[in-house]
Structure 1
């Protein structure tokens, strides 16, 4: 997930919106950490579960990363109240489908992971903050399926082919 994020971060630019969809423990924050590395922003990129949105300034000439956890938002009006800088930043929104207003061009990454067997998932995203620790990643190595859905002219030639 991290490596995919680095590749994606290398093609993102100010004004891009990335919606991440997937169950707890799917790797949304790990993917975002990679996006931050690919963009060259100040870290560490951690789950914004308790603050809703966290801005990571660029360490160079690129755009900042705004990392949003929309899980606690009741509706799109609450998302608008966050007053996110969509035009000057790359916005990555976990749990943002249907809550963060789509732009002319945007991408959604739907992450699937195996389920069954030992239940490693809890019932709230609070636990996802701990699932991103190095210990968790060292213990859990599961394949992920990531579907990238591109919308708008910006992505007409593909996402990772930019």
Structure 2
């Protein structure tokens, strides 16, 4: 379970990702774990690697289509890939960029992510502080970019993720 220290959430998992390829690989591992109804919130400053992480998540899910930042369209749906031995029940990916919403909950509601969440994995860049209300069961992936371009990723689980995360390869 994620610990708190004086009201601050402390990451349950923290890793250094020296290259963009490491960021994609970490995302790929996370994507392999995702299923319909999973909500992942990507947090971090510009250039921290949120879209790069999402590319890896998409690879791990095996979804179709090129992954790029949905900044101007707000959300992109990537259809589920083919059924495979590793993924007998393929899951689509809804990739949202909430940066331009500026915390406007009405605009978030207009995206109808609640309906998407029932049948898709939903990844929301810049969603921390507004998108948590979509599900108590969510995972915050906090990315930071150090001066030497190394990324640090911290995972902060909520709800069912407090039990799921420790049982994954990401935690080990």
User: Which interval holds the TM-score relative to the shorter structure?
Assistant: 0.7 to 0.9
Measure, in 2, the Cα distance between the counterparts of 1:160 and 1:92: 21
Q: Which of 135, 144, 154 pairs up with 1:112?
A: 144
In the alignment, what sits opposite 2:168? Answer: 161
Q: Secondary structure at the match of 1:152?
A: coil
Which stretches in structure 2 are left out of the alignment for 5+ residues? 1-22, 83-88
Measure, in 1, the Cα distance between the counterparts of 2:166 and 2:65: 24
* Mapping of residues 1-162 of structure 1, within 5 Å: 1-60=23-82, 61-74=89-102, 75-84=104-113, 85-100=116-131, 101-115=133-147, 142-158=149-165, 161=168
Per-residue deviation, 1:57: 0.2
Measure, in 1, the Cα distance between the counterparts of 2:163 and 2:59: 25
Measure, in 1, the Cα distance between the counterparts of 2:130 and 2:158: 16
Task: State the TM-score, normalizing by the size of structure 1.
Answer: 0.79
8 A contact 1:7–1:160 mirrored in 2: no
Per-residue deviation, 1:59: 1.4
Per-residue deviation, 1:155: 3.7
Per-residue deviation, 1:154: 4.1
Q: Secondary structure at the match of 1:108?
A: strand
Measure, in 2, the Cα distance between the counterparts of 1:159 and 1:83: 31
The structure in which a higher percent of residues are helix is 2
Which stretches in structure 1 are left out of the alignment for 5+ residues? 116-140
Larger RCO: Structure 1 or Structure 2 (Cα < 8 Å, ≥ 6 residues apart)? 2
